[in-house]
Amino acid sequence: MKAPNVCFFLLIVALTKFQSAHSQDQSGFISLDCGLVPKDTTYVEKTTNITYTSDGAYIDSGVVGRIDETLRTIFQRQVWNVRSFPNGQRNCYNFNLTRNQKYLIRGSFQYGNYDGLNQLPSFDLHIEMGNSFIHEIIHVLTQDRLQVCLVKTGETTPFISSLELRPLNNSTYDTQSGSLMTVNRVYFSHTPSFIRYDEDIHDRTWLPNIKENTTSIRTDLPVDTNNPYDVPQLVAKTAMIPENPTQPLNLRWTLDEITAQSYIYMHFAEIQNLEANETREFNITYNGGLRWFSFFSPPRFGISTLYNPRSVSSPDGTFEFTFTMTSNSTLPPLINGLEVYKVLDILQLETDQNEGDVCAPKVFLWESVNCSYPDSEPPFIISLNLTESELTGTITPEISKLTRLRELDLSNNDLSGDIPPFFADMNSLKLINLSGNSKLNRTVPSAIRQRIGNKSLQLL
């Protein structure tokens, strides 16, 4: 059965950054098994020793389900359950965190025929493994709260299996602007195993990769990985070299967006005991001879990370790196680990913390809401039109939190009670329409009458 064109995408609405985890524990980790019930349940995933909890404390919507029983022996336990969202255009997880901290934020989506429809939805996600998807970004948060929203953009139902937040070292993965979306993170080994926590203290996922016409070398000796990127020992202890040691080493990949800006991190360590007359030195070029780094010698049993301080792009989205021995070298080039990211611009994905996520992103602006999008601050609500919305009861004081609201239309509903005096304290408010609410007491508080008198507020 053909999947629909678009189901939904994972939306990071407001983000944050945490202290670096220097010890091999789970301090600062948030590990949610989405759909796990009851909501006070916790467990330790046996393959990673990560403690997972239910997502129930972070969201109050959605329907819980489980993937097909025959698949549960294949996948880690945190993706056995599913929280799906058949109702509403967007459903959001809410976290209270710390402003100006850096995080790896990862959502996993394991369909597993949880709904019995055998219809795999389509996602705006970037790492695919069978019918399982992982969406991962690195971002510095500008507010003290985080919302992760699933937004329905088609006919099928959004769902999520797990949601994980991991603190990163603040001095790593810097960008000139925007955030980083993971394209690939690999190490060079013949082993089929991927690497996660606790081999990687930040719980990054490293996939094994060996290219054609190359081979892998390894060491049992420890490698000094004491640099800000905390490269796992299993990554540092293996490396890829050309199968023919006299030939260059080549790496090639293509981004799905040809205009995307990219950041590339290469990790190197000399893992062979070199004789006095042996030297490993090479030049790194890309895309037809553009210089990346010259006369580079990996440190002996120590890690060194090379990366571009400014984003780079390719006319067709393809990057081809060539590692070539210098005339001084007696040994072929090598590489131990590679990380590739593309820049993700989320300037419109952050919203004033008192106004939720209704303004972002602009393309999915909520009905009945108008927002302002200034260049230097998060967007905010300026008008709210709830006419003929079948509202009942008294006017909620939550409206007073919309401090920059200019127009409010509550006409033609079934509201009752009094006109709240807090309207007078909303200095930006210029127009209130309360007509068509027959049960509403139309007695106007004195503070509101004063504003009407000085023509700073109009009441209908």
Write down the pLDDT at residue 377.
Answer: 64
Enter the pTM of the model: 0.74
pLDDT digits (tens, 9 = 90+) for 345-371: 654 444 444 444 566 555 445 557 788
Chain mean position to CA 153: 18
Q: Name residues whose C-beta falls within 8 Å of residue 454's C-beta, 6 or more positions apart in sequence.
A: none
Answer whether residue 380 shows pLDDT above 90.
no
Decide which of 161 and 25 is more confident.
Answer: 161
Q: Which of 147, 205, 164 is nearest to 13 (CA)?
A: 147
Confidence of residue 146 (pLDDT cuts 50, 70, 90): confident
Average pLDDT for 81-104: 88
- Which of 10-24, 328-342, 349-363 has the highest average model confidence (pLDDT)? 328-342
- The residue ranges of DSSP E strands in 190-274, in sequence order, are 207-208, 214-218, 238-242, 249-254, 262-268
- Local confidence band at 397 (pLDDT 50, 70, 90 cut-offs): confident
pLDDT at 374: 73
- Give the pLDDT confidence of 400-416 residue by residue, as tens digits: 888 889 999 999 998 99
pLDDT (tens digit, 9 = 90+) per residue, 214-241? 999 999 999 999 999 999 999 999 999 9
The pLDDT assigned to 96 comes to 87
What pLDDT, on a 0 to 100 scale, did the predictor assign at position 126? 27
pLDDT band at 277 (very low <50, low <70, confident <90, very high): very high
What are 423's two structure tokens? 């309207």
Express each pLDDT in 415-449 by its tens digit.
Answer: 999 999 999 999 999 999 999 999 999 999 999 99
CB–CB of 129/108 below 8 Å? no
Query: For 247-270, how does the pLDDT look when each residue is reduced to its tens digit (9 = 90+)?
Result: 999 999 999 888 899 999 999 999
Check pLDDT > 50 for residue 18: no
Q: How much is the average pLDDT of 64-87?
A: 93
Tokens (6 digits) for 53:
């909890």
pLDDT given at position 192: 81
Residues 6+ apart with CB under 8 A from 353: 14, 143, 144, 145
Average pLDDT taken over every residue of the chain:
85
Rounded Cα distance between 201 and 184, Å, is: 18
Q: How confident is the model at residue 78 (pLDDT cuts 50, 70, 90)?
A: very high
Looking at residue 143, its pLDDT comes to: 77
CA angle 71, 73, 78 (to 5 degrees): 85
pLDDT reading at 245 higher than 80? yes
